[in-house]
Structure formats: C-alpha cells, structure tokens
C-alpha cells in the first residue's frame, strides 16, 4: 500500500530507488531472516568480516612506531585475543545457523550474552575488559556493514534512524541515490555531511526507519521533504518526469561555471566552498568555486582510535592547498565537541554545545592544538592558506591562540621548516558575544567568517541537532538578522574582510538579503554554489539595499517574510 511521509528536505532533487535500511553500528543493528539456502553465504560473510578485522588490527599493531608506549601494542594484542576467542569468532556462526538470522544480529546477541557474563566477574580488571569486547564487536560490525553496503546495488536509498556526523562520513564512499533519517535538524553536522553526499536528503521524518522495509520502492523529493513509499504507476511516471526536469536544470546551470560572479551593477562576489575532506575537492572544482572558505579539519579526527600525528595532518592539509593551485584555502582549526566526538571520548558535559567545544577544547589540550598548528603552518608553504579559529567568545581565547601560533612558528624556525610567515588568521563569529563585541576581535584578526549555524543556535537557544525544536530554528528571526547585518556592516566599515560560511550562505532564498546587508564573500557547500551564482548574476544591489534596510527596521516576522518575497520576486 502506498503512503507518504513528510520531513524536512535538506538537499534538493528527486531520487527513485529501493530502500536500504542502515543502522548505527552498535546501538541499532538491523535484524532480518536469512533463507535456509543463503545460510552458508551468511556464515561466510561473518567469517570474512572477522578475518578482515583481524588483518586490520594486525596492520595497526605493525604500524606502531618503535618508540611508542608499550600499552599501544598491548591493547591491540588484547583485541586480537578477544577476536580469536571462540566465544566471538565461533558462537555467532551457530546462532546464524540455528536462528536463520543475519550475521550482525547474531554477533550483537552474542555480545549481549558475553557482557552479561562479564558483569558477574568479581575481578575489577577483568570486568573492565567489557569495553574492549564492545570495541572489537563494533569493529566487526562496521566491516559487516561496509560489506553489505558495497554489495548493495547502486542507487539504493539509505534509510536511518539517527546517525552521528562520523557515521555519515563512512557513507561518503557509497554510491547511493538518496539519504533519509528520522532525526536531525537542518543545520546539524549530520545533515551538513549528508548534504555533502550531494544527493536528495530529508531529515526529521520521525518514523521512516520503522515504517519502511528493506527493498521497498521509494520516491524521495528532497526539495519538498516528501517520501512516497510504494508509489502507484501514475505517481511514479510523474516523478520520473520531474526527475528529468531537475537533471536538465542542473546541466544548464553548469554553463555558468566559469562566468564571473558579478552583480548586474558590477560588484564582484566571492563564492567559496565548504569541505570536510580532501576528496571533496573534485566537487569544489566542478562548482567553479574561487577558493575554500571553510575546511572543517576535525573530520580527519573522526572514526579512528588514535589522533592523527603532525605529518599525517600536514599531508592532509597540503593535498588540499596544492590541489587548489594558489586559490585561498581557509583551514578551520579543530571544532570537536558538541555533536562531533573522538572515538571513545567521554561525553561528560551536560550541555556539550556550551561546554568544552572547538577553541576551548584546543586550549585545554595545548599539545593537540600545537600539533595541528604546526601541521597547518607547514602546509601554508605550498599555496594560499588561511587559518580560521572556531567559536571565539573572549579576548583571552584569542590572545592564547595567537601566542600558541607564535610558539608553533618559532618551533618551526628552530627546526628549519618553511611556512608562510604572513599567513592570515581569522575568527569565526558564531557566538553572540563575539558579534556584539566585534572590535575586540577585529583588532587582532585578519578576517572574519560568520558561522550562522551556531550563531542562530546560540542566539535563539535552539539545539541545531534537535528536530523537536527545529521549527523554532529561524534564520529570519529579527535578532539573527540584526546580528548578521551588524557584523557585516562593522567589518566592512573597519576594512576587515568578512564572509558567511554557515548554511545561510548556500540558501538561495537568502542570497539577495545578504548582498543587501553588504556581504561580498559567501562560502557554502559546492552543490549550492552555481544556484547562488545564478542569483548573484541576476541581482542589482542598488535595488536590493532599500528593501533589506526595511527588513532590519521591522520586528514582525510576517513583514520580514513579505519583504524577502519581494526581494526574490
């Protein structure tokens, strides 16, 4: 029977394909029946996942530098032992055979059983090894999940309940045609990474994971936020037509890739791209972006057990800088905390978005920060690199950052390693305190970038990742408009370059409003760039500005909306 689900569209376009239910590797493992004749294949799948995990652990152990502390190797040996034990490597096979279930489910059941046994152990050392068992099982589950995903036909539609940004990162390699989730706010990091998969995406569907079954035929309308399950023939035909039209529109847009991004009245507008990983550069080039306005460096730190060292980080940053061939690359220093965590990190804070996040975390862990600063500085030698500091709220944070950067430069001088001595340092304006005390930051910074995702979250007290309050998350709230326009105007007056790199910059409905506020640099996901460019080319700032001034003079949401419609008419 056909039915429809409504959520929030976060990436436009239409996809038609079969549902592929995915799960958080540990918490939400899928369960399905395996037919008798497929049991040997399912057991083989389990065995090959165990073998692949063993190889992965052995490789990790062999790659440990000789001078590392002995515990590193010991911990990997322990995990290899746990994996080899028949309670993990053999018992799940028997469960698959007797219960006719999938390998993930068998493994999860066995893990639950083992953990219960651990609880009975009196010896506290042994009892604490519970966490190691969970980590080993998670590794095998991830491998199984990867196998299943690779085995899926191209074009399937991923259906998930909730995923962390780190989980979505793992899906980047997949050839799926759409992505939908039950939870998630429109500017959560999970959504932002899902958007960078560059396929129609919908969040906040609430019951999709429960109501949709593996292999159901789905239509995803990312623009309207609608999912049609098991559509009838006429609906399917209509959507196929719409899909063709959408594709045609996208092809047409490519024609303006190398046009200059200049308004009708001759103002040049810089259109930069946001990325998470070096592999995103391909899409950046296809979009014709004139630089990278936000490189979210923390994504290198997710989905791994150890922090990346200086050399690995250096190669990661250098690759991007070299690939961009002299165009500016703005590397944001680590923004961990809130919804992005290191594997295994304790999540103690009651309000993680207000806790030890971003620059606060870096200053609390100066050794980690120093390593990153040295790696970024080293990469600055290979192109045009700029450093961006996230979540600044006080002068002391900025002063400490500048001091650590100076120390990093001195240590590179002492080691005779080259870097760009004039590397520019900018700050993100994403805490209202920074927006309201701007001169304090502008005196010491070379440029500013407004992170509207967090600025809205912190101004309106709306958790950007919580779909239950996402109806209150409002970029057009008068308080938000005042803060954004105030920062742009103040920076322009002081001659400090200012960009917007939050999701507002990629929302074509808001392009003209931001131009009217005086914004000349936008940084956004590359898939939005040509649409925004088309709008820039068709805009006349002298006609826009009087309307945006009126928007700032009213506090009535309906009037603001009406004026925005006039701007876009």
Q: How many residues does the chain have?
A: 569
Reduce the DSSP state of residue 221 to 3 states and report it: strand
How many Å apart are CA 202 and CA 221, to the nearest integer?
8
272 given a catalytic annotation: no
Q: Which is nearer to ligand PEP, 42 or 335 (CB)?
A: 335
DSSP 233-262: HHHHHHHHHHHHHHHHHHHHHGGGTTS--B
Beta pairing class for 217-221 and 201-203: unpaired
Residue 102, C-beta contacts closer than 8 angstroms, at least 6 positions apart: 30, 31, 32, 34, 42, 96
Q: Which is nearer to ligand PEP, 222 or 390 (CB)?
A: 390
Chosen from ligand PEP, Mg ion, none, partner binding at 194 (C-beta under 5 to 8 Å by type): none
Out of 93, 195, 296, 318, the residue judged to bind ligand PEP by CB under 6 A? 296
Contact pattern from residue 163 through residue 202 relative to ligand PEP, giving x for each residue in contact according to CB under 6 A and a dash for the rest: -----------------------------x----------
Q: Which is nearer to ligand PEP, 25 or 501 (CB)?
A: 501
Q: Which is nearer to ligand PEP, 42 or 454 (CB)?
A: 454
Contact pattern from residue 255 through residue 294 relative to ligand PEP, giving x for each residue in contact according to CB under 6 A and a dash for the rest: ---------------------------------------x
Contact pattern from residue 223 through residue 242 relative to ligand PEP, giving x for each residue in contact according to CB under 6 A and a dash for the rest: --------------------
Q: State the minimum distance, in angstroms, from the CB of residue 464 to Mg ion.
A: 9
How many Å apart are CA 467 and CA 217, to the nearest integer?
26
Out of 454, 463, 507, 521, the residue judged to bind ligand PEP by CB under 6 A? 454
Reduce the DSSP state of residue 508 to 3 states and report it: helix
Cα–Cα distance list, 557 to 472, 546, 561 (Å):
12, 18, 6
For position 452 contacting ligand PEP by CB under 6 A, the verdict is yes
Residue indicated by tokens 């709008």: 535
Cβ atoms of 180 and 10 within 8 Å: the answer is no
Residues touching Mg ion: how many (CB under 5 A)?
Answer: 3
Q: Which is nearer to Mg ion, 430 or 463 (CB)?
A: 430
Q: State the minimum distance, in angstroms, from the CB of residue 558 to ligand PEP.
A: 26
Q: Which residues inside 326-345 make contact with ligand PEP, applying CB under 6 A?
A: 335
Q: Which helix (H) or strand (E) holds 17?
A: strand 14-21
Beta pairing class for 447-450 and 424-429: parallel
For position 221 contacting ligand PEP by CB under 6 A, the verdict is no
**Cross-strand partners of 499:** 449
How many Å apart are CA 17 and CA 239, to the nearest integer?
12
Spot the catalytic one: 20, 79, 161, 189: 189
For position 298 contacting Mg ion by CB under 5 A, the verdict is no
DSSP 8-state symbol, 333: P
DSSP 8-state symbol, 26: T
Out of 328, 432, 451, 518, the residue judged to bind ligand PEP by CB under 6 A? 451
Q: Which residues inside 381-440 make contact with Mg ion, applying CB under 5 A?
A: 430
501 given a catalytic annotation: yes
Q: State the minimum distance, in angstroms, from the CB of residue 58 to ligand PEP.
A: 36
Reduce the DSSP state of residue 11 to 3 states and report it: strand
Q: Which helix (H) or strand (E) holds 387?
A: strand 385-389
Angle formed by the axes of helices 395-414 and 366-379, nearest 10°: 60
DSSP 199-218: S-EEE--SSHHHH--TT-EE
Cβ atoms of 179 and 158 within 8 Å: the answer is yes
Best CA proximity match to 280, nearest among 323, 315, 239, 330: 323
Q: State the minimum distance, in angstroms, from the CB of residue 484 to ligand PEP.
A: 11
Q: Which is nearer to ligand PEP, 192 or 536 (CB)?
A: 192
Q: Which is nearer to Mg ion, 337 or 451 (CB)?
A: 451
Q: Which stretch binds ligand PEP (CB under 6 A): 49-57, 204-212, 359-367, 446-454?
A: 446-454
Out of 454, 467, 503, 521, the residue judged to bind Mg ion by CB under 5 A? 454
Cα–Cα distance list, 228 to 2, 95, 477 (Å):
7, 36, 32
Chosen from ligand PEP, Mg ion, none, partner binding at 452 (C-beta under 5 to 8 Å by type): ligand PEP
Chosen from ligand PEP, Mg ion, none, partner binding at 507 (C-beta under 5 to 8 Å by type): none
Out of 291, 451, 516, 526, the residue judged to bind Mg ion by CB under 5 A? 451
Contacts with Mg ion, residue ranges (CB under 5 A) = 430, 451, 454
Contacts with ligand PEP, residue ranges (CB under 6 A) = 192, 294, 296, 335, 430, 451-454, 501-502
Write out the catalytic residue numbers: 189, 501
């Amino acid at each position: 029977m056909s039915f429809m689900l409504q959520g929030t569209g976060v990436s436009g376009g239409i996809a038609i394909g079969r549902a592929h239910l995915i799960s958080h590797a540990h918490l939400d493992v899928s369960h399905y029946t395996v037919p008798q004749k497929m049991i040997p294949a399912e057991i083989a799948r389990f065995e090959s996942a165990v073998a692949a995990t063993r190889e992965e652990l052995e490789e990790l152990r062999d790659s440990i530098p000789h001078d590392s502390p002995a515990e590193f190797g010991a911990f990997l040996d322990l995990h290899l032992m746990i994996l080899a034990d028949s309670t993990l490597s053999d018992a799940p096979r028997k469960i698959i055979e007797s219960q006719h279930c999938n390998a993930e489910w068998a493994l999860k059941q066995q893990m639950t059983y083992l953990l219960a046994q651990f609880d009975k152990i009196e010896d506290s050392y042994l009892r604490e090894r519970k966490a190691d068992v969970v980590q080993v099982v998670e590794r095998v589950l991830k491998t199984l999940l990867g196998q299943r995903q690779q085995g899926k036909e191209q074009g399937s539609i991923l259906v998930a309940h909730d995923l962390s940004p780190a989980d979505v990162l793992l899906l980047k390699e997949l050839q799926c045609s759409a992505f939908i989730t039950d939870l998630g706010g429109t500017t959560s990091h999970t959504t932002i990474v899902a958007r960078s998969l560059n396929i129609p995406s919908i969040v906040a569907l609430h019951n999709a994971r429960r109501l949709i079954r593996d292999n159901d035929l789905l239509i995803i309308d990312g623009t309207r936020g609608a999912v049609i399950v098991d559509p009838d023939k006429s609906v399917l035909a209509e959507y196929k037509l719409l899909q063709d039209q959408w594709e045609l529109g996208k092809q047409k847009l490519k024609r303006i890739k190398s046009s200059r991004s200049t308004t009708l009245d001759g103002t040049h507008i810089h259109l930069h791209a946001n990325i998470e990983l070096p592999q995103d550069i391909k899409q950046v080039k296809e979009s014709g972006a004139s630089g990278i306005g936000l490189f979210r460096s923390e994504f290198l730190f997710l989905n791994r057990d150890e922090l990346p060292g200086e050399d690995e980080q250096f190669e990661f940053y250098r690759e991007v800088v070299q690939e961009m061939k002299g165009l500016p690359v703005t590397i944001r220093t680590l923004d961990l905390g809130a919804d992005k965590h290191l594997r295994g990190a304790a999540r103690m804070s009651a309000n993680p978005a207000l806790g030890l996040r971003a620059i606060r975390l870096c200053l609390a862990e100066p050794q980690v920060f120093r390593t990153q600063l040295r790696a970024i500085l080293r990469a600055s030698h290979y192109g045009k690199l700029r450093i961006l500091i996230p979540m600044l709220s006080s002068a002391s944070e900025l002063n400490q950052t500048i001091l650590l950067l100076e120390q990093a430069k001195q240590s590179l001088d002492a080691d005779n390693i080259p870097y760009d001595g004039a590397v520019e340092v900018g700050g993100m304006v994403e805490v209202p305190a920074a927006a309201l005390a701007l001169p304090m930051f502008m005196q010491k910074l070379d440029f500013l970038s407004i992170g509207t995702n967090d600025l809205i979250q912190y101004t309106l007290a709306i958790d950007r990742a919580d779909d239950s309050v996402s109806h209150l998350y409002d970029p057009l709230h008068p308080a938000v408009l005042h803060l954004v326009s105030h920062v742009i105007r103040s920076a322009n007056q002081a001659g400090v370059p200012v960009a917007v790199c939050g999701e507002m910059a990629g929302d074509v409905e808001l392009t003209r409003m931001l131009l009217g506020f005086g914004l000349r640099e936008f940084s956004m996901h590359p898939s939005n760039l040509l649409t925004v460019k088309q709008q820039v080319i068709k805009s006349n700032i002298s006609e826009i500005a009087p309307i945006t001034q009126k928007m700032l003079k009213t506090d009535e949401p309906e009037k603001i909306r009406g004026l925005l419609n006039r701007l876009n008419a």
